[in-house]
């Protein structure tokens, strides 16, 4: 009987020696505090906390009527420049064929008009691109799909492009990461690919995962090393604990 107990204890000791205790926090896989580089007043807010958005979705707009009108004017300038370019180009090509029988000064004038039309068209296109860029900076779109977790501003609030103030917080709702901490003495044993069995507060059943990366530094204050496991369907902010299998 004693022999059986000793063997059982030894077996459990071996199992424990092959596992490393870890605690972890559930964090969003991606989280971004969204801001604008333009200065203005928020006119429209298209999302609220908890809303799921797709990549490229319009989130909010500043009061940008002046910018919209400047884009329309720039488009008109481009259209007019194209008309002038077509006329100058056709005239230039026509007289280019008979330049040997017309006055040199007159031909040079046609060449000059053509070159001016090209320059004017390029300038109008550049002006349009610049004004469109300014207009684009007055609206905020989702850089990736996710869920709105915070609203830092409301309709009517001012936004300072120079301060780069956060307006909305967007988190990736497709997957999360478990940032696991463990004693620094195991930093050489815990590796990418190591299996992890863990539990999350509030959920009875256990989960299994794989170490996706091991962080290259140790916290000097806590003497803890860190690793990361990817997971799904867990809420950021949860806490848990588990065991990492090591060789």
The yes-or-no verdict on residue 221 having pLDDT over 90 is yes
Output the pTM of the full model: 0.69
- Helical (H) or strand (E) element with 77: helix 65-96
- pLDDT the model gives residue 106: 83
Tokens 């991606």 found at: 30
Q: Is the pLDDT of residue 101 over 80?
A: no
pLDDT in tens, 103-139: 878 888 889 999 999 999 999 999 999 999 999 999 9
pLDDT tens, position by position, 174-203 = 889 999 999 999 999 999 999 999 999 999
Q: How far is it, in rounded angstroms, from Cα 97 to Cα 232?
A: 71
Q: Are 159 and 62 in contact (CB under 8 A)?
A: yes
Strand partners of residue 141: 58
Minimal CA–CA distance to 139: which of 193, 202, 201, 68?
68
Confidence of residue 13 (pLDDT cuts 50, 70, 90): very low
CA 145 vs CA 44, 68, 69: distances in Å: 20, 27, 31
């Amino acid at each position: 009987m004693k022999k059986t107990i000793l063997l059982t204890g030894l077996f459990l000791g071996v199992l424990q020696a092959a596992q490393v205790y870890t605690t972890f926090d559930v964090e969003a896989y991606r989280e971004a505090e969204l801001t604008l580089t333009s200065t203005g007043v928020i006119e429209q807010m298209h999302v609220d906390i908890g809303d799921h958005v797709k990549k490229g979705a319009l989130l909010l707009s500043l009061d940008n009527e002046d910018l919209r009108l400047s884009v329309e004017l720039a488009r008109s300038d481009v259209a007019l420049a194209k008309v002038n370019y077509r006329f100058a180009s056709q005239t230039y090509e026509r007289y280019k064929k008979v330049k040997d029988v017309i006055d040199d000064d007159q031909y040079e004038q046609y060449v000059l008009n053509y070159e001016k039309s090209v320059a004017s068209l390029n300038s109008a296109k550049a002006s349009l691109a610049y004004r469109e860029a300014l207009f684009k900076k007055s609206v905020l779109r989702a850089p990736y799909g996710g869920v709105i977790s915070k609203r830092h501003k409301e309709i009517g609030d001012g936004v300072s492009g120079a301060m780069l103030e956060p307006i909305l917080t967007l988190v990736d709702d497709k997957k999360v990461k478990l940032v696991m901490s463990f004693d620094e003495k195991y930093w050489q044993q815990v590796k990418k690919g190591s299996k992890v069995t863990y539990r999350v507060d509030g959920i009875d059943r256990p989960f299994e995962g794989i170490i996706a990366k091991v962080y290259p530094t140790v916290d000097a204050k806590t003497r803890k090393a860190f690793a990361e496991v990817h997971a799904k369907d867990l809420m950021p902010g949860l806490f848990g604990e588990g065991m990492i299998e090591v060789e």
